Chains A and B, each alone.
Chain A
């Protein structure tokens, strides 16, 4: 496993101390990672799911993009998904929602790459307001 990917995984372990971090190497030196469980907050039903993404060898310069959460979650008050959330995807064999959020800042560290998982979770929580 590329050292820069290992560093991102180490940061995820610290950022999500109560979750399991599952990593699966895939072709091209990338690694698929799933963080489980994660809490999307009271506006979602079920509120607990997983979040995942592919970590690529271009890290820490490449973006962590896109991210996925479990397809089973829905908003408590209903409503269809809007861009940048799209339906009908799979990640590691699991039905998934895809969240296509770009990173616009220029910080390029393993900590920032791991932080993208937190930022996207925050975005999903806020998006349901």
Chain B
């Protein structure tokens, strides 16, 4: 067995499961989770799309030996649902335990008896079981190739992220390292979470490059860096870690931004693990590099990157922060304005599509050749202004939001989704984002939405889109 399952919940689905399993009677109850799924080199991802409660005495009955058993008709109905929607079938029940839980020998014998057959019935999709304690989860997932997988971590991706394991022994360990001596009293368990967290940064430009040094100095040691661009002289003033030797010269192009970022991280922490992806996240299968991450920082400013990353976040229930700055220069300096945005995207909340933050004309333009765009364009089109200090303020707020939401569970739960910063006055507006009930990306209760569907739905990219 491999302990590599990452099981993610939207808070509503997790709460529905827990209220059904633990109604206060200390008895065992059951149901089925229908989960989107996918596999990377090191993870089996499960994203809970739906919890189906089993009615006690009807769908879930006790045998003479007092073992609970899901009834064949209920199992068949849920397997049919799973197969039709290309989802994983996960039968769930509870034990009366708290922060540690495991399958009983009877549970495991029944898995070994039944799941090889169920795996065949589910047409090449994963099947398996989960057992819940009040603050713990364990899984036994059977893949079509016969391999079995146990839980690495489960997460309830709410305003703050709740981390669950099969037992405290499986939680990442916080080591007493002198390097982090001053932040340990604040972070405590969170230091272990940070060390084991894989952070993906999409866009290593003015904002994205500002994230590198503080994150690695804070203790993060695993990064996925995605950006197709090379440094140019016009962005040298804003690219953290760049050196004069990186600039284009004598007919040679500038160094790739992901290479500059990689070098900076290695200089600070030689033990850091970095995957560099010098490609556009919205092209082809590049977005799959995000699936091995625990948290995404989206610092690329194209509509196509927003579309693809927003879909990944909602389809796989991965938490994401979108960071950006915008400067509007007017004829008189007094009327110029500079804004920053830190937007938290999580299951069913903060969706960039719902909030009109993905420019649909820019998406259309992304597939057009420059010559056609020039013909279509009217009006003046100047490069966006940018200032390094503005980028730094937005990046710093973004990293603190990450810290509070991912690794500091004792922190007060934030009530907002977006932080909008007036970078000239310093004023902040905390915004609760809109959620459209028929959103194709985030509406987990809407049948046509891709929320939580994992690989059952194609991620929209600029070379392929939803059908």
Binary CB contact string for chain A from 42 to 64 against chain B (1 if under 8 A, 0 otherwise) = 00000000000010111111111
The answer to whether B369 and A61 touch across the interface, beta carbons within 8 angstroms, is no
The answer to whether A62 and B364 touch across the interface, beta carbons within 8 angstroms, is yes
Contacting residues, chain B, for A104 (C-beta < 8 A) = 356
Contact of B465 among A60, A63, A65 (CB under 8 A): A60
Is B331 interfacial (CB-CB < 8 Å)?
no
Binary CB contact string for chain A from 27 to 44 against chain B (1 if under 8 A, 0 otherwise) = 111100000000000000
Contact of A86 among B364, B369, B378 (CB under 8 A): B378
The answer to whether B358 and A54 touch across the interface, beta carbons within 8 angstroms, is no
Is A22 interfacial (CB-CB < 8 Å)?
no
Contacting residues, chain A, for B378 (C-beta < 8 A) = 83, 86, 100
Cα separation A107 to B441 with both chains bound (whole Å): 11
Is B439 interfacial (CB-CB < 8 Å)?
yes
Is B307 interfacial (CB-CB < 8 Å)?
yes
Interface residues on A, range: 20 to 34
Contact of A64 among B364, B439, B463 (CB under 8 A): B364
Contacting residues, chain A, for B61 (C-beta < 8 A) = none
Known A27-B369, A57-B367; contact A98-B361, beta-carbon cutoff 8 A: no
Is A102 interfacial (CB-CB < 8 Å)?
yes
Cα separation A95 to B366 with both chains bound (whole Å): 24
Contact of A30 among B356, B361, B368, B438 (CB under 8 A): B368
Contacting residues, chain B, for A27 (C-beta < 8 A) = 369
Binary CB contact string for chain A from 83 to 123 against chain B (1 if under 8 A, 0 otherwise) = 10010011000000010101110111000000000000000
Binary CB contact string for chain B from 156 to 189 against chain A (1 if under 8 A, 0 otherwise) = 0000000000000000000000000000000000
Cα separation A19 to B466 with both chains bound (whole Å): 28
- Which of B438, B440, B465 has the most A CB atoms < 10 Å from its CB? B465
Contacting residues, chain B, for A59 (C-beta < 8 A) = 465
Is B375 interfacial (CB-CB < 8 Å)?
yes
Contacting residues, chain A, for B369 (C-beta < 8 A) = 27-28
Contact of B360 among A2, A4, A103 (CB under 8 A): A103
Residue of B nearest to A89 (CB): B375
Contact of B467 among A4, A28, A58, A83 (CB under 8 A): A4
Interface members, chain B 16-60 (any A CB < 8 Å): none
Cα separation A53 to B17 with both chains bound (whole Å): 49
Known A28-B368, A30-B367; contact A63-B360, beta-carbon cutoff 8 A: yes
Cα separation A90 to B462 with both chains bound (whole Å): 25
Cα separation A119 to B378 with both chains bound (whole Å): 22
Distance in angstroms from A3 CB to nearest chain B CB is: 4
Contacting residues, chain B, for A108 (C-beta < 8 A) = 353, 440
The answer to whether B463 and A61 touch across the interface, beta carbons within 8 angstroms, is no
Known A28-B369, A98-B376; contact A57-B464, beta-carbon cutoff 8 A: yes
Contacting residues, chain B, for A60 (C-beta < 8 A) = 465-466
The answer to whether B462 and A58 touch across the interface, beta carbons within 8 angstroms, is yes
Binary CB contact string for chain B from 221 to 259 against chain A (1 if under 8 A, 0 otherwise) = 000000000000000000000000000000000000000
Binary CB contact string for chain A from 1 to 16 against chain B (1 if under 8 A, 0 otherwise) = 0111001000000000
Known A2-B464, A66-B376, A106-B356; contact A56-B368, beta-carbon cutoff 8 A: yes
Distance in angstroms from B318 CB to nearest chain A CB is: 19
Is B436 interfacial (CB-CB < 8 Å)?
yes
The answer to whether B366 and A58 touch across the interface, beta carbons within 8 angstroms, is yes
Distance in angstroms from B144 CB to nearest chain A CB is: 26
Is B304 interfacial (CB-CB < 8 Å)?
yes
Contact of B307 among A7, A29, A54, A61 (CB under 8 A): A61
Cα separation A66 to B358 with both chains bound (whole Å): 17
Contacting residues, chain B, for A64 (C-beta < 8 A) = 364
Contacting residues, chain A, for B375 (C-beta < 8 A) = 89-90
Binary CB contact string for chain B from 302 to 342 against chain A (1 if under 8 A, 0 otherwise) = 00100100000000000000000000000000000000000
Distance in angstroms from A75 CB to nearest chain B CB is: 20
Is B75 interfacial (CB-CB < 8 Å)?
no
Residue of A nearest to B369 (CB): A27
Is B460 interfacial (CB-CB < 8 Å)?
yes
Cα separation A107 to B462 with both chains bound (whole Å): 19
Cα separation A106 to B372 with both chains bound (whole Å): 26
Contact of B436 among A4, A28, A106 (CB under 8 A): A106
Contacting residues, chain A, for B466 (C-beta < 8 A) = 4, 60-61
Cα separation A107 to B436 with both chains bound (whole Å): 10
Contacting residues, chain A, for B372 (C-beta < 8 A) = 54
Distance in angstroms from B370 CB to nearest chain A CB is: 11
The answer to whether A56 and B463 touch across the interface, beta carbons within 8 angstroms, is no
Cα separation A62 to B302 with both chains bound (whole Å): 13
Residue of A nearest to B366 (CB): A58
Known A102-B360, A106-B436; contact A58-B460, beta-carbon cutoff 8 A: yes
Residue of B nearest to A68 (CB): B376
- Which of A60, A90, A106 has the most B CB atoms < 10 Å from its CB? A106
Contact of B439 among A7, A30, A102, A106 (CB under 8 A): A106
Interface members, chain B 452-467 (any A CB < 8 Å): 460, 462-467
7 of the cross-chain contacts (CB-CB < 8 Å) are: A57-B463, A59-B465, A60-B466, A61-B360, A62-B363, A65-B364, A106-B439
Those 10 A-B pairs whose CB atoms lie nearest each other, nearest first = A62-B363, A63-B360, A56-B367, A62-B364, A3-B467, A58-B363, A28-B367, A65-B361, A63-B361, A56-B364
Instruction: List 10 additional A-B contacts (Cβ < 8 Å) besides A28-B367, A56-B366.
Output: A3-B467, A4-B466, A7-B467, A54-B364, A56-B368, A58-B462, A61-B307, A61-B460, A66-B376, A106-B356
